[in-house]
Amino acid sequence: MLSIAVSGVSGLLGAHVAAALVRHHRVVGLDRHPWWGDQPLTVLHGDLMDPQFRAASLAEARPEIFIHCAAMVNVDACEDRPELAYAANGVLTGALAREVPQDCLFVYVTTDGVFRGDEPFRRETDLPCPRTVYGRSKLHGEWETELATDNHLIVRTNFFGWSSGLKQTSAEWLFSALSSGASVTLFDDFFFTPLYVVDLVERLIALVGGGHRGRFHVCGQDRVSKHEFGIGLAAVAGLPTTRVQRGSIEAATLRAPRPRDMSLSSARFQQATGLTVPGCEQGLRRFLADRGRPLSERVATVPQPL
Ligand SMILES: NC(=O)c1ccc[n+]([C@@H]2O[C@H](COP(=O)([O-])OP(=O)(O)OC[C@H]3O[C@@H](n4cnc5c(N)ncnc54)[C@H](OP(=O)(O)O)[C@@H]3O)[C@@H](O)[C@H]2O)c1
Beta carbon of 10 within 6 Å of any ligand 1 atom: yes
Q: Is 297 helix (H, G, I), strand (E, B) or coil?
A: helix
Ligand 1 centre to CA of 221 (Å) is 24
Ligand 1 centre to CA of 290 (Å) is 21
245 contact partners, CB below 8 Å, separation of at least 6: 183, 184, 185, 186
Are 183 and 1 a contacting pair, CB within 8 Å?
no
pLDDT tens-digit readout, 165-215: 888 999 999 999 999 999 999 999 999 999 999 999 999 999 999 999 999
pLDDT tens-digit readout, 255-268: 777 789 999 999 99
CA atoms within 13 A on the CB side of 288: 17
Residue 250 has a pLDDT of 85
Mutating to test ligand 1, I would choose from 30, 50, 69 the residue with most ligand atoms within 8 A of its C-beta, which is: 69
What is the set of domains in the chain, with CATH numbers? Answer: 3-298 (3.40.50.720)
Let me know if 55 is exposed, middle or buried by CB neighbors in 10 A (0-12, 13-18, 19+): exposed
Ligand 1 centre to CA of 103 (Å) is 25
Give the DSSP letter string of 12-58: HHHHHHHHHHTTTSEEEEEESS----SS--EEEES-TTSHHHHHHHH
The 65-68 sheet, strands edge to edge: 42-45, 26-31, 3-7, 65-68, 105-111, 152-157, 214-218
Beta carbon of 47 within 6 Å of any ligand 1 atom: yes
Beta carbon of 108 within 6 Å of any ligand 1 atom: no
Residue 47 has a pLDDT of 98
Q: Do the strands 152-157 and 214-218 form a parallel or antiparallel pair, or are they unpaired? A: parallel
Q: Which atom of ligand 1 is nearest to the CA of 92?
A: 31
Considering only CA atoms, which residue is closest to atom 19 of ligand 1? 11
Euclidean distance between CA atoms 21 and 152, whole angstroms? 19
pLDDT tens-digit readout, 63-92: 999 999 999 999 999 999 999 999 999 999
pLDDT of residue 156 exceeding 80, the answer is yes
Ligand 1 centre to CA of 21 (Å) is 18
Task: Taking each helix axis as running N to C, give the angle between helix 51-61 and helix 92-99, from 0 to 180 degrees, rounded to the nearest 10.
Answer: 40
DSSP H or E stretch at residue 159? strand 159-160
Q: Which atom of ligand 1 is nearest to the CA of 12?
A: 16
Residues counted in the chain = 306
**Range from 13-17, 152-156, 259-263 carrying the lowest mean pLDDT:** 259-263
DSSP 136: H
pLDDT tens-digit readout, 98-129: 999 999 999 999 999 999 999 999 999 999 99
CA atoms within 13 A on the CB side of 168: 8
This prediction has a pTM of: 0.97
Alpha-carbon distances of 72 from 75, 84, 93, rounded to whole Å:
8, 8, 11
Ligand 1 centre to CA of 74 (Å) is 9
Beta carbon of 155 within 6 Å of any ligand 1 atom: no
Stretch 289-300: mean pLDDT: 97
Q: Do the strands 224-225 and 191-192 form a parallel or antiparallel pair, or are they unpaired? A: antiparallel
Where does the pLDDT of residue 37 fall: very low under 50, low under 70, confident under 90, or very high at 90 and above?
A: very high
Residue 79 has a pLDDT of 95
pLDDT tens-digit readout, 228-255: 999 999 999 999 999 999 999 988 877 7
Ligand 1 centre to CA of 26 (Å) is 22
Residue 12 has a pLDDT of 98
Residue 171 has a pLDDT of 97
What are the CB-based long-range contacts (under 8 Å, 24+) for 232-240? Answer: 232/280, 232/281, 232/284, 233/171, 233/174, 233/175, 233/178, 233/284, 233/288, 234/178, 236/281, 236/284, 236/285, 236/288, 237/175, 237/178, 237/179, 237/288, 239/178, 239/179
Residue 115 has a pLDDT of 97
Mean pLDDT, all residues of the chain: 96
